[in-house]
């Protein structure tokens, strides 16, 4: 089973996380500051670390930077800071995901599972052939017409599948609703673009853990939609 | 501080007294020396007796000439005989008128006081009237007259006349004649030293202080009048000359007195100069000062009374003066035909033009600056020092207003930022305990609870979620209103954005039993916006629509391009009666239902307005009965430089007629 380190200076939050995670059968370690976290990380073989950002002694950003020098263990930052600049900083020093307090326990569990799946499958990933498209944990096989997210298969409708394929062909490129409509439905839009928004939302609900904070399928407001490039 | 000797007034008085004495002694000795020199006593060492000295014969010569002149030429025989009688003079005479053609003859005796005595000194002399030098021109026939004077001086000098005094002087001086120059030199050197000492110390007082001296209370003029006047008076004593020994004494006394008076005057001037009151404490200075004060006061009065007049009156008076002057000058110039007046007229025109130009350029500068201030640029300042008169005052006032306003704006910005920081920090601190509350309520709800307890737990869970939303909104509202949110504006299609937004909101609208109606112009509406911020505006408006709309109604979402601006509108029918003014609804924590029981923080519209204004937009609400309209407008922009339409990748192109693809899971 997996070893997970919970690092937070608030004992109540650690206890709550333990209750949630122990139900899933993980082996849990606790640390109440950054120094302890580094100590445990050096001692135990860990598979995932939940790390608070604002802690005494050594904050989460510094711990992440230190851990990344030797290890590629998944790190999820937990923090009360919700500004975009804080998220960017956290992800840039090497964190894999970012969850703001107060968090939804179900969503946090989903993110933990997703990171563990990817971590466990790293290296065992088959080569992407001409018929395979991959963006981050999202994998689309155009031969078998299957889509997996972090290894878990997803059921899509044909329209959703075509939209996803279009966006994954050019990750980072922004397609407007009209373009998507014309390329997927293959007919002039003539005011039917609003259908695209609904399909995109459904697609996002299937491939994203938190649809309102998408990692892969992003809304570029006022311009269109895109598949995130560098995940 | 040590008191120096010269600073004591008593020492100076003593020095002055010494000066008087030493100058008197020195002067007398000098005079004696000179006298001895005229008597040739230094050359002729043989003069053993007074009656052999040059001085004696000089005296005799003088008497002879006087007798010839008075008794011979003018005929004042009686007076002369009285003056030279043996009772009143040691010198007696016989005056003879000689025949010009035969000087050897005895001649005619004119007057005689001749008295034989023993011992005596006698002599005789022939003198020509013209040799006297100062005969009246009328008595020209007398010019060649010859006179002989036989004289005799009583050797015992019984009468106290000038011979007697000269004899006394001779007796006392002759023996001392070699000491006199020495005493004179010492006395005069001492006088010079004392004079320098006195002048150097004039005006000094004990302890290094300065004052105008003992006579400092007198004005300079009065002091000079006293001292210089006294000196001149003394000098006038010398006017009689030094014919005889008494006259000489008087002459010397006058010289001495004048010297002392002038020394005093010099000392007074030095003292005043040292004390720095030479002109201040003088009548002429006082008069000058008084006149100056008078003139200055008058000028001030003129200026003040001018300044107290209203500007209109000043302008009117100035205008009348200019017009009058102009008219007179023009008449002069064109009736007199004089080149000078023509030139004057021309000069006046140029001057008038220059003044007008200056005035209007100042006015123009004021206008420029006030226009910029009105446009919100508070950094501009009027160069008030280059302006004059009322324009300068105006400029200075304008500068003060600008400074005051920028200070107020800065202060406001600072306090807003401080508030934002405070709110952000507080909400960070709130989030940690909130996390535990939400988590443990969630855990609680998973336990097998009594129905009543489960209901309580769900209330806590709901309110916990509300608190979470509230902290997030609070941070966002304060950030949006203080302007500390970064804005990444780029050309954005408002129509596309609304399409996306309605797509996002479709399930929530459906849940609230609302039907969205999207009204778009059919072409993109480009505007410089930050898409994420504009989405938050629309998000807040649609969220409100979901929360407060009457179920079963339609929600209109519109984009439009009109009057050079991009407009977005959200209209819905309120579920409850809206009895709050539109402006108040946009304030923080104000909600239409005023009950605060439903979900929501009351910050949504405030955030929407702040975010719209951050993007150079405007935001407003219109309440018309139950119809609730929210609008925002932004400046239009050019469409972005679009990349090429996406090319379909080979092998992965969407087949136009592809049937729905069966998907396996």
Q: Please give the full DSSP string across A179-206, using - where no structure is assigned.
A: HHHHHHT-S--TT-THHHHHHHHHHHHH
Q: Kindly state whether A132 is in contact with chain B, defined as any CB-CB distance less than 8 angstroms.
A: no
Q: Does B439 sit within 8 Å of A16, measured CB to CB?
A: yes
Q: Residue B389: which of B331, B452, B311 has the closest Cα?
A: B311
Positions of chain B with pLDDT lower than 70, given as ranges? 1-3, 39-40, 43-48, 133-143, 240-245, 588-601, 642-665
B66 and B119 share one domain: yes
Report which secondary-structure segment, H or E, holds A28. Answer: strand A27-31
Burial A160-171 (b: 16+ CB within 10 A, else e): bbbbbbbbbbeb
ipTM comes to 0.73
Radius of gyration, CA atoms only, chain B? 62
B354 and B253 share one domain: no
B164 and B51 share one domain: yes
Residue among A82, A176, A177 minimizing CB distance to B472: A82
Q: How far apart are CA A27 and CA A29, in angstroms?
A: 7
Q: Kindly state whether A157 is in contact with chain B, defined as any CB-CB distance less than 8 angstroms.
A: yes
Count of helices and strands (H, E) across chain B: 16, 13
Q: Is A8:A52 a contact under the CB 8 Å cutoff?
A: yes
**Cβ contacts of B532 on chain A, cutoff 8 Å:** 221
B9 and B47 share one domain: no
**What pLDDT, on a 0 to 100 scale, did the predictor assign at position B487?**
85
Pairing of strands A146-149, A152-154: antiparallel
Q: How far apart are CA B121 and CA B365, in angstroms?
A: 112
**What pLDDT, on a 0 to 100 scale, did the predictor assign at position B36?**
78
**Cβ contacts of A142 on chain B, cutoff 8 Å:** 652
Residue among B499, B529, B531 minimizing CB distance to A197: B499
Query: How near does any CA of chain B get to the CA of A67, in Å?
Result: 25
Q: Kindly state whether A130 is in contact with chain B, defined as any CB-CB distance less than 8 angstroms.
A: yes
Query: How near does any CA of chain B get to the CA of A150, in Å?
Result: 15
**What pLDDT, on a 0 to 100 scale, did the predictor assign at position B663?**
43
Q: Does A175 sit within 8 Å of B439, measured CB to CB?
A: no
**What pLDDT, on a 0 to 100 scale, did the predictor assign at position B2?**
61
B228 and B270 share one domain: yes
Range of the domain at B577: 487-635
Domain termination site, one of B176, B210, B238: B176
Q: Residue B481: which of B413, B580, B570 has the closest Cα?
A: B413
Q: Does A155 sit within 8 Å of B665, measured CB to CB?
A: yes
B501 and B621 share one domain: yes
Q: Is A119:A75 a contact under the CB 8 Å cutoff?
A: no
Domains of chain A: 3-121 (3.40.50.2300), 132-227 (1.10.10.10)
Domain annotation covers residue B282 = no
Q: Is A86:A80 a contact under the CB 8 Å cutoff?
A: no
Q: Is B238:B253 a contact under the CB 8 Å cutoff?
A: no
- Please name the residues in contact with B279: beta carbons below 8 A apart, sequence gap of 6 or more: B220, B285
Q: Across the strands, what pairs with B205?
A: B209
B236 and B114 share one domain: no
Domain termination site, one of B326, B352, B371: B371
Q: How far apart are CA A194 and CA B345, in angstroms?
A: 84
Domain annotation covers residue B455 = no
Q: How many domains does chain B have?
A: 4
Domain at B552, CATH number: 3.30.565.10
Q: Which two tokens stand for residue B503?
A: 């797509």
**What pLDDT, on a 0 to 100 scale, did the predictor assign at position B599?**
58
List A residues 48-67 in contact with B (Cβ-Cβ < 8 A): 54
Q: Please state whether the peptide bond connecting residue B119 to the residue before it is cis, i.e. omega within 30 degrees of 0.
A: yes
Q: Does A10 sit within 8 Å of B436, measured CB to CB?
A: yes
Q: Is B213:B271 a contact under the CB 8 Å cutoff?
A: yes
Q: Kindly state whether A143 is in contact with chain B, defined as any CB-CB distance less than 8 angstroms.
A: no
**What pLDDT, on a 0 to 100 scale, did the predictor assign at position B665?**
37
CB pairs under 8 A between A and B: 148
B266 and B330 share one domain: no
B315 and B351 share one domain: yes
Residue-wise pLDDT for B335-389, tens only, equals 877 788 888 888 888 999 999 998 899 889 888 888 988 888 888 888 878 887 7
**What pLDDT, on a 0 to 100 scale, did the predictor assign at position B163?**
83
Residue among A102, A175, A196 minimizing CB distance to B438: A102
Q: How far apart are CA B599 and CA B459, in angstroms?
A: 12
List B residues 497-536 in contact with A (Cβ-Cβ < 8 A): 497, 499-504, 506-507, 518, 520, 522, 529, 531-532, 534-535
From the candidates A221, A224, A226, A227, which should be mutated to test the interface with B, based on the most B CB atoms within 10 A?
A221
Count CA atoms closer than 13 A to B276's CA, side-chain side: 2
Q: What is the DSSP annotation of B389-435?
A: HHHHHHHHHHHHHHHHHHHHHHHHHHHHHHHHHHHHHHHHHHHHHHH
Q: Which two tokens stand for residue B252?
A: 């010397």
- Please name the residues in contact with B574: beta carbons below 8 A apart, sequence gap of 6 or more: B548, B549, B550, B592, B626, B627, B628
B163 and B187 share one domain: no
Query: How near does any CA of chain A get to the CA of B576, in Å?
Result: 30
B534 and B505 share one domain: yes
Pairing of strands A132-135, A138-141: antiparallel
Domain termination site, one of B275, B298, B329: B275
- DSSP class of residue A175 equals B
Q: How far apart are CA B249 and CA B238, in angstroms?
A: 9
B614 class by beta-carbon count within 10 Å (0-12 exposed, 13-18 middle, 19+ buried): buried
Backbone angles phi, psi at B149, to 5 degrees: -115, 125
**What pLDDT, on a 0 to 100 scale, did the predictor assign at position B515?**
92
User: What is the largest distance, in Å, between two alpha-carbon atoms of chain A?
Assistant: 63
DSSP reduced 3-state for A76: strand
Q: Residue B120: which of B170, B154, B149 has the closest Cα?
A: B154
Chain B residue closest to A154 (CA)? B665
From the candidates B503, B507, B656, which should be mutated to test the interface with A, based on the most A CB atoms within 10 A?
B503
Q: Kindly state whether A128 is in contact with chain B, defined as any CB-CB distance less than 8 angstroms.
A: no
Token pair 């060649």 in the structure block, residue: B144
Strand ranges, E, within B214-357: none
Residue A140 has pLDDT above 70, yes or no: yes
Domain annotation covers residue B158 = yes
B55 and B154 share one domain: yes
**What pLDDT, on a 0 to 100 scale, did the predictor assign at position B651?**
41
Q: Kindly state whether A168 is in contact with chain B, defined as any CB-CB distance less than 8 angstroms.
A: no
């Amino acid at each position: 089973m997996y070893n997970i380190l919970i690092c937070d200076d608030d004992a109540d939050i650690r206890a709550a996380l333990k209750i949630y995670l122990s139900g899933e059968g993980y082996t849990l370690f606790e640390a109440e500051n950054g120094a302890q976290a580094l100590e445990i990380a050096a001692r135990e073989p860990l598979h995932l670390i939940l790390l608070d950002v604002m802690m005494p002694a050594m904050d989460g950003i510094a711990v992440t930077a230190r851990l990344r020098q030797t290890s590629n263990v998944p790190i999820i930052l937990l923090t009360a800071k919700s500004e975009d600049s804080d998220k960017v900083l956290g992800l840039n020093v090497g964190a894999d995901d970012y969850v703001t307090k107060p968090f939804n326990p179900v969503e946090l569990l989903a993110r933990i599972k997703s990171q563990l799946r990817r971590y466990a499958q790293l290296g065992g990933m088959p080569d992407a052939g001409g018929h395979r498209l991959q963006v981050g944990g999202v994998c689309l096989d155009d031969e078998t017409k299957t889509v997996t997210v972090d290894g878990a298969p997803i059921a899509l409708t044909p329209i959703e599948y075509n939209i996803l394929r279009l966006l994954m062909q050019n990750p980072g490129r922004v397609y407007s609703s009209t373009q998507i409509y014309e390329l997927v439905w293959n007919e002039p839009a003539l005011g039917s673009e609003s259908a695209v928004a609904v399909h995109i939302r459904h697609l996002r609900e299937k491939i994203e853990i938190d649809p309102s904070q998408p990692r892969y399928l992003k809304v570029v407001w006022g311009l269109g939609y895109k598949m995130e490039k560098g995940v | 501080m040590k008191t120096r000797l010269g600073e004591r007034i008593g020492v100076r008085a003593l020095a002055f007294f010494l000066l008087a004495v030493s100058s008197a002694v020195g002067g007398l000795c000098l005079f004696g020396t000179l006298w001895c020199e005229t008597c040739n006593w230094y050359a002729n060492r043989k003069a053993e007796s007074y009656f052999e000295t040059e001085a004696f014969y000089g005296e005799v010569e003088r008497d002879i000439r006087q007798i010839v002149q008075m008794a011979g030429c003018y005929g004042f025989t009686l007076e002369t005989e009285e003056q030279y009688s043996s009772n009143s003079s040691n010198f007696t005479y016989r005056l003879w008128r000689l025949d010009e053609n035969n000087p050897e003859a005895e001649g005619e005796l004119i007057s005689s006081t001749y008295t034989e005595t023993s011992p005596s000194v006698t002599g005789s002399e022939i003198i020509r009237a013209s040799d006297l030098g100062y005969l009246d021109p009328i008595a020209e026939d007398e010019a060649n007259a010859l006179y002989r004077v036989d004289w005799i001086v009583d050797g015992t000098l019984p009468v106290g006349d000038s011979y007697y005094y000269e004899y006394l002087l001779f007796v006392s001086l002759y023996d001392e004649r070699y000491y006199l120059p020495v005493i004179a030199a010492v006395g005069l050197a001492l006088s010079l030293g004392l004079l320098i000492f006195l002048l150097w110390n004039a005006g000094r007082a004990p302890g290094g202080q300065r004052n105008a001296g003992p006579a400092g209370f007198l004005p300079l003029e009065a002091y000079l009048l006293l001292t210089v006047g006294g000196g001149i008076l003394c000098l006038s004593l010398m006017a009689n000359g030094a014919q005889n020994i008494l006259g000489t004494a008087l002459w010397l006394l006058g010289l001495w007195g004048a010297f002392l008076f002038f020394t005093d005057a010099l000392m007074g001037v030095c003292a005043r100069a040292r004390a720095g009151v030479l002109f201040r404490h003088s009548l002429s200075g006082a008069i000058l000062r008084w006149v100056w004060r008078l003139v200055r006061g008058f000028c001030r009065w003129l200026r003040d009374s001018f300044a107290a007049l209203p500007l209109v009156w000043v302008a009117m008076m100035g205008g009348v003066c200019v017009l009058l002057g102009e008219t007179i000058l023009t008449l002069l110039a064109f009736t007199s035909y004089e080149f000078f007046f023509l030139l004057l007229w021309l000069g006046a025109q140029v001057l008038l033009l220059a003044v007008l130009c200056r005035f209007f350029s100042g006015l123009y500068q004021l206008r420029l600056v006030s226009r910029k201030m009105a446009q919100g640029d508070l950094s501009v300042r009027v160069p008030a020092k280059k302006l004059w008169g009322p324009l300068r005052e105006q400029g200075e006032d304008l500068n003060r207003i600008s400074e005051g306003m920028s200070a107020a704006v800065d202060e406001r910005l600072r306090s807003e930022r401080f508030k934002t920081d405070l709110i952000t920090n507080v909400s960070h601190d709130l989030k940690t305990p909130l996390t535990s509350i939400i988590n443990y309520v969630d855990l609680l709800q998973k336990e097998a609870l009594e129905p009543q307890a489960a209901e309580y737990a769900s209330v806590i869970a709901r309110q916990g979620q509300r608190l979470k939303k509230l902290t997030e909104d609070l941070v966002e509202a304060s950030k949006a209103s203080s302007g500390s949110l970064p804005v990444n504006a780029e050309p954005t299609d408002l129509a596309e954005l609304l399409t996306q937004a309605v797509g996002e909101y479709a399930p929530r609208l459906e849940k609230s039993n609302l039907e969205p109606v999207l009204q778009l112009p059919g072409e993109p509406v480009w505007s410089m916006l930050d898409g994420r911020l504009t989405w938050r505006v629309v998000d807040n408006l649609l969220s409100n629509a979901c929360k407060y709309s009457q179920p079963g109604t339609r929600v209109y979402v519109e984009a439009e391009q009109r009057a050079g601006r991009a407009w977005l509108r959200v209209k819905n029918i309120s579920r409850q009666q809206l009895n709050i003014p539109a402006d108040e609804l946009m304030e923080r924590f104000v909600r239409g239902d005023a009950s605060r029981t439903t979900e929501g923080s009351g910050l949504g519209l405030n955030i929407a307005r702040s975010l719209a204004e951050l993007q150079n937009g405007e935001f407003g609400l219109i309440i018309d009965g139950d119809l609730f309209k929210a609008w925002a407008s932004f400046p239009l922009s050019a469409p972005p430089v679009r990349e090429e339409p996406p090319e379909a990748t080979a092998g992965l192109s969407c087949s136009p007629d592809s049937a729905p693809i069966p998907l396996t899971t």
